[in-house]
Structure 1
Amino acid sequence: MTDIRIQAVGGEGDGIAEGPIYAPFTLAGERVRVAGTGERRELVEVLEPSIQRVEPPCPHFGACGGCALQHWEHSAYLAWKVDRLVATLARERIETEFLKPFAAPPGSRRRITLHARQGRRGEARLGYKARKSWSLVDIEVCTIADPRLVAAIPALRRLAAPLFQHAKSAPSLHLTWSDAGLDVDISGVERRSGGGLSADARMRLADQAAAADFARVTLDGEAAYMSRQPTVRVGPATVALPAGAFLQAVSEAEAALAAFALDAVQGASRIADLYCGVGAFSFRLAQVAPVLAVDSSAPAVRALSAAIASAPGLKGITAETRDLVRRPVLAEELKKIDAVVFDPPRAGAAEQAAELARSKLARVVAVSCNPATFVRDARILIDAGFTLERLLPVDQFLWSPHIELAASFTR
């Protein structure tokens, strides 16, 4: 055992003491007792707590690997996230106006992933992976998730019970609460040895889904059961979700990001929405001007296209399936576009940013789930004459170290 004084909270949410020594669930200024050797230690006891320490609201906190920062008073926790974002920009000598951050409240996550392990008496074990481990923490509650997802956990245990016909199966249940009810996409069921689930297992799966009144159950996107097409409201449109489709985890966060983008492109005559997905931005932007919507996912683009009819009065949306890494929209193709919104995956959009930089565009909105790749892409735009006007921090993943953002550029 060692007693240490925590000096700061690091990027992954662990406290840092001289050495350095990293200790989870600790805060700056605290004196704590830790166990172990090397840089990574385990917290044994808080000897002198910070005034910012609060009682974690979830009984699984500390064992479950999902949340890292429930012990921190909310305003201080949120300020730490914003400070990290400021520091990430500063490494590339970028400064801008920071808006008041959006903060997702507890119980707001409409999408979560639960992992299943074989259980007994017709029920699987179900929960999150333990912190820094492959073992499973069975959960009864989840303070970040929509209460309707939590209420479905007993039925989901029964749903997952038939998934273990093959020893290598390690199923994950990707849950989305849609306007039609619960949508479940299951991955991790072994297919190579034995060809996947037997007809009997599929029948049991469908019976459990029907008994629980789930909207849809799919196995790696392949339909296993559907009573109702899962749909979500996206701005003025109603979108039929493809199985396993990307969706912002918190609907209020999606609305905040879209409102920021909409404000930044006011007055545009034609807008491009790159990495458009099922249209989180496209449908709202099309209330302002015609939109070119582009994404690499053909199912997402089909869903977006089909939903256009559900939103009369739009200025028009033209949707295209295109790999924006291998084939970015070129500067020459952007000649009739006067504003671009792009929302790439965690790897960022270096190839597309280079084309935006090369174009004659005067307005760009970047949405990012990874500040590190955002800063790289922002530097490409700034070096081409753009100014980063303002930035909206978005805390969509409550009590995690993760922070997202939207940023507007002008030239």
Structure 2
Amino acid sequence: MRHARRPSRAPAKPSAPAGPPVDLSIESLGGEGDGVAAGPIYVPFTLPGERVRAVGGGERRELDAVLTASPQRIEPACRHFGVCGGCALQHWTHKAYLAWKVERLVGTLALQHIETEVLAPFAAAPGSRRRLALHARKGSREAARVGFKARKSWDLVEIDECPVSDPRLVAALPALRRLAAPLFEHPKSAPTLHVTLTGAGLDIEITGVEKKSGGGLTADARMTLAAIAAEADFARVTIDGEAAYLSRQPAVRLGPVVVALPPGAFLQAVPAAEAAMVKFVGEAAAGADRIADLYCGVGTFTFRLAEIAPVYAAEGSAAAIRALSSATASAPGLKGITAETRDLAKRPVLAEELKRTDLVVFDPPRAGALEQTAELARSKVSRVIGVSCNPATFARDARVLIDAGFSLDRVFPVDQFLWSPHVELVGVFTR
């Protein structure tokens, strides 16, 4: 029998009701990536088929030792794994891990009695993520503590590496620690640095800085912040959307255009995942005469769709619509884009407004698009393409469309958040 103690990098066991260690057989993996034994009892960092020793009480225990390891167990890629709350599945072979994500997606659809063709998934590579949300806590006068939240805790895990992230983001960590140092004039400040790698360099939007009675940071703190940003050659630093430093306008290329990003703009986390989804959506949209792109953001899909047919684009963020419209003005060879700021949850595009539209693309937040889906179900639209970061709300909304006469023809799984339990997808509906 193989008897392996848990790696020293694993977290200390949190306090739990007293109870003797128990030996468990892991039967499957739960939705958050924890191993599941009979009971059910959940044990993190375990794999199906393993025999493990767990400690604690209740249905959620902690791993003490792997007694019989799965042949699919591998060495984690990051020294912070097990303590950092960012990754849950670095200890699993990639093939098995990816198959589990696809199975989860199929199972989630099945809960709504939906069966469809599931295509081969896109899998993000290590070192490919261009966006990070880094939490900062007060450190020394010269450098703050910067990292991610600990697993099941509000504590901060300072990171020195992150194999998920683009190496240029990892290389910037020392400068980001210095940048965060002046942000703690108010004792309740708990800043988050939303860092995006753009064509112009790093774009950093800072939230969570408490305002002093005079409002915002002092002039001295702002000068220090700007000096650090200049020394690090950051493109832009903003605080709650207001410019604190600007050297170059952050921008990204979306199909045939370059879009100037507003502060805090949403982008897909991995450029290769974005490219794969845009390609898939473009192929599924071929032949359309008039298109609506709902929850369009700054135009991730809009510009590719506008190469096919005229597009109506709607999004709740006024800044995103301004960026999209500005880029449209200089975009060559497009069929035409009409953009509108619109809260699609409170004011969905009505079926009557879609009379001349034959294809709708929607890419809502995690809560889904139930109100908008109801209008699509009432409409005469013949094709719908749904993009989702939450299979559960996608399945709920898909059920509404299917009950209205649509069929879900195929689904494209997207593993954009490597080593996490999250899976995204693009689904194509026809009526």
Q: TM-score, normalised by structure 1?
A: 0.99
Residue of structure 2 equivalent to 1:8 = 28
Greater mean deviation of Cα atoms: 258-267 or 220-229: 258-267
Letter in 2 for 1:360: K
Residue 37 (str. 1) matches residue 60 (str. 2):
no
Q: How does 1:49-68 map to 2 (within 5 A)?
A: 49-68=69-88
Residue of structure 2 equivalent to 1:394 = 414
Q: How does 1:151-162 map to 2 (within 5 A)?
A: 151-162=171-182
Residue of structure 1 equivalent to 2:279 = 259
CA distance in 2, matches of 1:255, 1:341: 16
CA distance in 2, matches of 1:92, 1:62: 34
Residue 282 (str. 1) matches residue 292 (str. 2):
no
Aligned mate of 1:201, from 221, 225, 228: 221
Residue of structure 2 equivalent to 1:240 = 260
Residues 179-216 of structure 1 show CA distances to partners (whole Å, capped at 9, x for unaligned) of 00000000110126552211100110000000000000
CA distance in 2, matches of 1:121, 1:326: 46
Residue 176 (str. 1) matches residue 196 (str. 2):
yes
The alpha-carbon deviation at position 110 of structure 1 amounts to 0.5
Give the match's secondary structure for 1:304. helix
Residues 53-112 of structure 1 show CA distances to partners (whole Å, capped at 9, x for unaligned) of 011011110010000000010010010010011011111110000110011100111001
The alpha-carbon deviation at position 155 of structure 1 amounts to 0.4
CA distance in 2, matches of 1:102, 1:93: 24
Letter in 2 for 1:340: V
Q: CA RMSD, aligned part only?
A: 0.9
Give the match's secondary structure for 2:120. coil
Label 1:193 to 1:74 Cα distance change in 2 as closer, same or farther (>3 A): farther
Q: How does 1:2-401 map to 2 (within 5 A)?
A: 2-191=22-211, 193=213, 195-401=215-421
Residues 304-325 of structure 1 show CA distances to partners (whole Å, capped at 9, x for unaligned) of 0001134201111111111111
Unmatched runs of 5 consecutive residues or more in structure 2? 1-20
CA distance in 1, matches of 2:191, 2:251: 24
The alpha-carbon deviation at position 302 of structure 1 amounts to 0.3
CA distance in 2, matches of 1:141, 1:308: 38
CA distance in 1, matches of 2:151, 2:340: 41
Give the match's secondary structure for 1:256. helix
Give the match's secondary structure for 1:393. strand
Unmatched runs of 5 consecutive residues or more in structure 1? none
The alpha-carbon deviation at position 164 of structure 1 amounts to 0.6
Greater mean deviation of Cα atoms: 310-319 or 220-229: 310-319
Tell me how many residue pairs correspond in the alignment. 411
Give the match's secondary structure for 1:361. coil
CA distance in 2, matches of 1:125, 1:45: 31
Residues 358-396 of structure 1 show CA distances to partners (whole Å, capped at 9, x for unaligned) of 011110000011111101110110000001000000000
CA distance in 1, matches of 2:224, 2:349: 47
Runs of 4+ in 1 over 3 A off after TM superposition: none
Q: TM-score, normalised by structure 2?
A: 0.94
The alpha-carbon deviation at position 121 of structure 1 amounts to 4.4
Q: Is the 8 A contact 1:176 1:183 kept in 2?
A: yes
Letter in 2 for 1:221: G
Q: Is the 8 A contact 1:21 1:40 kept in 2?
A: yes
Q: Is the 8 A contact 1:166 1:193 kept in 2?
A: no
Give the match's secondary structure for 2:86. coil
The alpha-carbon deviation at position 273 of structure 1 amounts to 0.3
CA distance in 2, matches of 1:188, 1:198: 16
Q: Is the 8 A contact 2:186 2:212 kept in 1?
A: no
Q: Is the 8 A contact 2:384 2:428 kept in 1?
A: yes
Q: Is the 8 A contact 2:123 2:416 kept in 1?
A: yes
